[in-house]
Structures are given as C-alpha cells and as structure tokens.
Structure 1
C-alpha cells in the first residue's frame, strides 16, 4: 500500500467525512461476539473510535505514523504502525475486521489471507468506501470535469476501484452482503475546498508542481470557478457510501 496521506494528515483528520450510524448498526448486526475488533488502515482512527463503543478491545493499524499521531486515544484502542497484509496479531484474534476507504490500495489477495489468519471462525469482514459526491445540476459538471480532467491523471491507478465500487476486487467470503448508505453534509465553499485538498490526487499534483506558483494549487483555481455558482452560503453535499460484508 503506498503511503499517500502522511504529508497531509492534519487536513485529513479535520476535513474528511465520517460514516453514518446506520452503517455501523448494519454491520454490527452480523457480529456474534464483541470481544475484539481490528480496524485496518485506520488513518486518524475515526472508525476505531466508534468500534471502541461496542468492543472490549480495538486494534487499529495504519502504515502512517503521521496519521496515527492525529488519532483519538481511548483506553480500549491500541494503535499500531503495520501494513494491512502482514500484522503482528495472533491467529484467530478478531470478531470483526473493518477497512474504510482503503482496501483498493492493498494487495487484496494478501490482505484477505491475513484476514483469514487473524479472524475467528464466523468473524465478519466489512469493507467500504465512497465515490464522487453530488451537489446539484449546476455544480456537478464543473466538479466532474475537475475530477476526471484537471486532476484525473494524478490519481493512483487503483482509484478506479472506488469508481467501480469494488466490484472488480475479489471477495471470497461466505454470506456476502452489499449495501449502500448516504452521508449528507452542509458546507461552505471554503470547507468544501479544504475537503478536496485531502484527495491524494490533489496532493500529488501540488507536490509535482510545487515550484510553479501559477499551478501550485489546483483547488484554488477550481474555487474561483465555483464561487459565482456556489454563492456565500452553505450547500448540501451527498456522499454515496458502498459497503460489502462477508463471514469467515
């Protein structure tokens, strides 16, 4: 898994969305025991913090120490720097394993072998993500053009799996379930633009053009285009979340 997020861990912690209670209620309904959970690629720990309310112990891993430095500490969460595909955990440790907005970065086959090793018989594996958001018929075409054309070449090739909702990634588990959820946020333009700056493609663009002041921040130019349409108030934004779940 490439480390595409350490350099902007602060932005990521402050401006990324969280996930709806309905998603957690749904996946927890499949979990038989709640002794121990593993949140893989935890980032700043937003999923781990929710799981800590339901499990005796949560282990949360990420390859980025910078991300983990932003994570919320809780007595029953243990944060570890570790790749997804090779962890320090004993065999058959977990009742639930979660991955939010990250499995497309993994060696999926190796990760799923690790899931089978560290998951208990009957444990739940839940993987989810969210694709391009929607606002309205005026703003959406401008944003889609930015997504595909302006910073499209700067996405890692694995980004295609988000657009495909993981349908081309293997998932050879039992009792597979899929579900969709909606996350709504009401943001100012400034708040929205800072969210866009958390995109790995935007950060790659900025890094490659850091010596070119006219092209340094593509989000700033987009903001100038959006301002006349957006206005001075807040806009409703819909993030479509997709989930797949299986049983070991």
Structure 2
C-alpha cells in the first residue's frame, strides 16, 4: 500500500478532504472509554488529529515514511512506522499491548489491507468488552451540475486503471467482510452515511484528483486523466476565481469486538 502513495504524498496532504466532526462524535459516543485510539493507515494523520481531540492518546501507524513525514504533530499523537506485516509480538512492541485499545480506525484505507491479518490484530488489541473498530471511505465528490458532468467523464475513464481493491469503495463498503458485532442500538454494522464539505478553488480540486492512486496508475501508463482539454472543460464549468463547496459522502462501518480474548 505504501508504494501507491509515495509519489503523491504531498498532493494527498494538500488536497484530501478532512472528516466531519459529526463522524468522530458518533464513533466516540459508542466507545465507553476514551483512553487510547489506534489509527491504522494514517497517511498524513487526517483522522488521527481529530481523534486526538477526543482520546487521551492516539497511536497512528503507516507503512509509508513519506506520508508520516507530512503528518501534523500533536503532543498526544505517536506516529509509528510499521512493516507491511506484523507478528503479535511486533504489534505489542510497536502499537499497543493486548486488550489496551478503546478504538481502532482506518480512514479510506481498509480496502488495501490483508483483512484476516488485520482483523486478528484488531481483536488482539481491542479492550473486551467495549472495544470498537470503525472504518470509512468516501466516494465520488459532488460540486454542481456543470462540474459534475466533467468529473463524471474523468471518473468513468479512471475505472479502467482502478485496482480491484477499489471496488469496495464503489460499493460504499457494503460488501466489506466485517466480522464484528453491531454497536448498541443498531441492528447492523452499517454503512452509516456522513458528509464532508470542503471549500475549494479549481486548483485545489484538480490537485485532489491528481492525488488519486488511480490517477497515478493511469499516468504511469501514459494516460493523463487531466489532459489539457479536460482541464479546459473544468475551467469552463468552474468559472473564474470561484471558491466552491465540494461534497464528499462518507460511508462508515462500525462494530464491537466480542467479549472473550482472541
């Protein structure tokens, strides 16, 4: 996963949307304790920073040193470089001891993971009872009819360069294997829908598109999804020097770990 984002790490930090406070408040309201959160695949720490405002301590891990170098530092966040695979002993040394974590999160990341290994790690570190896993993704952005029409053409073309893992995002994580119990008061583990709204000018919007791993995949194969004609089409649709709200639907899967130690 790390290799996918090394080249566009700066773009990712600059233009990826942040996540709405309502998302974290909903998640936190379902964790009885707010001591320690583990943000997996943290990238540049977007989710970790929000978690740090709720949980006393956050450990934020990634396999990419390039991404971690761009992460925003806070006193109660420990950023940790981890290998692509970890034994349970390494997990204890690098992340946290068994049954010590209140919340595990993965923002726009779990579709890249080896799920059986990841879930074994999650069940090892989460507190019992009460430990929660929350994972989410965002899908196609929306601006207005004119911009969305150009975006749709780019998005449809990008599908030809999309890795199979991204199908889980297209399905809003509905088909994600998620072997956890529903949180209290819910009959299922989601997806639950939220929305992030980011004010962008056109340059930032195009930077966001260039931060896609699929954009980089296409570019490496000689296809620029934002060639001169496409950029002109976006310019005509966007308008001159305009700041527009860009809406990103978020889809959350959330569940509790069972009562016995794994």
TM-score calculated relative to the size of structure 1? 0.91
Q: 1:98 to 1:84 in 2, by over 3 A?
A: farther
| TM-fit CA distance, 1:85 | 5.5
Name the residue aligned to 2:124. Answer: 117
Name the residue aligned to 1:183. Answer: 196
Q: Distance in 2 between matches of 1:26 and 1:36?
A: 17
Q: Which moved more, 1:3-12 or 1:138-147?
A: 138-147
| 1:1-248 → structure 2 map (5 Å cutoff) | 1=1, 3-83=3-83, 86=86, 87=91, 88=94, 89-121=96-128, 122-149=130-157, 151-175=158-182, 176-178=188-190, 179-209=192-222, 215=223, 217-221=224-228, 222-232=230-240, 233-248=242-257
Q: CA RMSD in A?
A: 1.6
Query: Does the 8 Å CA contact 1:84/1:111 hold for their aligned counterparts?
Result: no
Query: Does the 8 Å CA contact 1:85/1:106 hold for their aligned counterparts?
Result: no
| Alpha-carbon displacement from aligned partner over 1:86-143 (angstroms, at most 9, x marks no partner) | 3333211200000000101111222111100111112010000100111222332321
| Alpha-carbon displacement from aligned partner over 1:167-213 (angstroms, at most 9, x marks no partner) | 1111111124432111122322111111111100111222333xxxx
Higher strand share: 1
Query: Does the 8 Å CA contact 2:181/2:189 hold for their aligned counterparts?
Result: no
Name the residue aligned to 1:212. Answer: none
Structure 1: unaligned runs, 5 residues or longer: 210-214
Query: Does the 8 Å CA contact 1:40/1:84 hold for their aligned counterparts?
Result: no
| Alpha-carbon displacement from aligned partner over 1:186-244 (angstroms, at most 9, x marks no partner) | 322111111111100111222333xxxxx5x4324321122112211222321101111
